[in-house]
Amino acid sequence: MSQVKVIVAGCTELGNHIARGVLNDSKADLMGMVWSPETAGARKAGWCHPDPVIVSRITEKRLVYADPITYDAVRTVSEGYVESIIANVSDRIGSDAHRPDILIQCWRSDIFPKDVLDFPRYCLGIHPTPLRFGIGRGAAALNHTLIEMYDVEADELPFWENAIFIMEPKPDTGKIVETREFKITYLDNMTTLLHKVAYTSRLMFKNIINRVYYNTFDEHFIEAPTGKIMSYPHRTPLDSAFNFKHKAMHIIGLVKASTHPYSGAFFNSQIRLDSNLVYVWDAYAKERIRGGQYSSGGQSGKVVAISPEGIEVTTGDLSLNIVITSIGIDDAIFIPYELAQIVNLCVGDNMAYMQTNIWE
C-alpha cells in the first residue's frame, strides 16, 4: 500500500510532535501543516510555531497560516504537496492525490466546518480526557482538573487518559479511535502535562497510521457515551486571578493550572495602575510555624520570610502559607529572592503593595 498521507492542523508543540512522528514513519507522508495558533498566550510562550526541522523538509506552499482552519487552507496544503511530487499537476486536479488520508487537529477546540471534515478520509481530534467514560468534554479540561485536584488536596488522580477520536460537527462526540493512560500528580503543572499529552498522542497516532496503512482502521472503535456528559467551561486569563485570602492549596492549583503556555496566575499590586499584575509561575505550600508573628489569624498576603528558597506569604489558611519560587512582572521572570532586593520588599510587607515599576 502507498504511504498514509497526513495533514497536521496546528503548529503547537503537540502538532510539531505529531508531524515529527509522521516524518520519521516510513508508512506515512507529511503533506503539510496548517498553522493555526491557539491563543496569544501560547504564541507568546513559544508553543505555537512551525518546527524548523519540519519546515526544512516541506515546501513553503505546504505550510499555510489560517485561523480558523478553513477548507481553502487545507486544500492549499494538499495542492502544494501534489505540486511537489507530480510534474504535470493539471492532469491530476480533483484526483485522490489531493486528498489526505488523515487530517489531525492538534490542541485546538475549534469545530471544523463540514467541508473540512469531509475532505480527508479521516478527520481526527485529540482530547486529553477519559472521553470514553463521559468525562471532560469542552475546553481547558486539564487546567480545571489540576485546580480540582488541589482543592481536594489529592496527591494524584487515580486515573486519567488521552484520546484520539473521529471529529464530528459537534465537539468531542465522535467515535474514539485510540486511548492512552497517563498520570496526573502533585508534581505536574500545565507545562509537564502538555508534554505528557504530546508523548501519548504521538504513540497513539503511530498506531493509527499502522491501522490505516494495513486497512484495519475501521475494525475497532469505542463508541462515544451518550446522555449527560461532564463538560468543562472555557477559561480566560482572568480566571487565573487570585488574592491571598484564598486557601493556600487553591492558589497552588491556580498557579499549576496556568503555567506556560498559558498566561500565568496573577494577583493585583495596588501600587501602580500602569503595571499592576504580578505573575506567580511556581509556588508550594508550607506549614505555618506556630507562635510566629503571622502564624494564627494574621493578615493574608503578609511576607513571612525572604530567602533563596523563595518568598513565603500568608494566605487565607490558618495552617498553610505559600512559598513563591518563580515570579514575574510584565514579561520579566525573576528569582523571588532577587526581585525582593530590586523592589525593596521586606518581611512584614504586604505582597499586594509590592512595587511593580521595575523599569525606572
Q: Which band of pLDDT confidence, cut at 50, 70 and 90, is reported for residue 87?
A: very low
Is 46's pLDDT higher than 60? Answer: no
What are the start and end residues of each CATH 3.40.50.170 domain in the chain? 4-231
Q: Which band of pLDDT confidence, cut at 50, 70 and 90, is reported for residue 84?
A: confident
Whether 323 contacts 350, CB under 8 Å: no
- Residue 277 pLDDT: 86
- Residue 184 pLDDT: 95
The residues facing 125 across adjacent strands are 105, 165
* Cα 76 to chain centroid, rounded: 27
Q: Give the fold, CATH level 3, of 4-231.
A: Rossmann fold (3.40.50)
**Which 3 state secondary structure label does DSSP give 321?**
strand
Q: Which band of pLDDT confidence, cut at 50, 70 and 90, is reported for residue 28?
A: very high
For 258-304, write each residue's pLDDT tens digit.
998 888 999 987 655 455 789 999 999 999 876 555 444 568 999 99
What are the start and end residues of each CATH 3.10.25.10 domain in the chain? 237-353
Is 94's pLDDT higher than 60? Answer: no
Q: Which band of pLDDT confidence, cut at 50, 70 and 90, is reported for residue 161?
A: very high
The pTM is what?
Answer: 0.88
Is 91's pLDDT higher than 50? Answer: no
Type of residue numbered 123: C
Residue (of 185, 344, 356) closest to 279 by Cα position: 356
C-alpha cell of 327?
A: 515570579
Q: Which CATH class is domain 237-353?
A: alpha beta
- Residue 108 pLDDT: 59
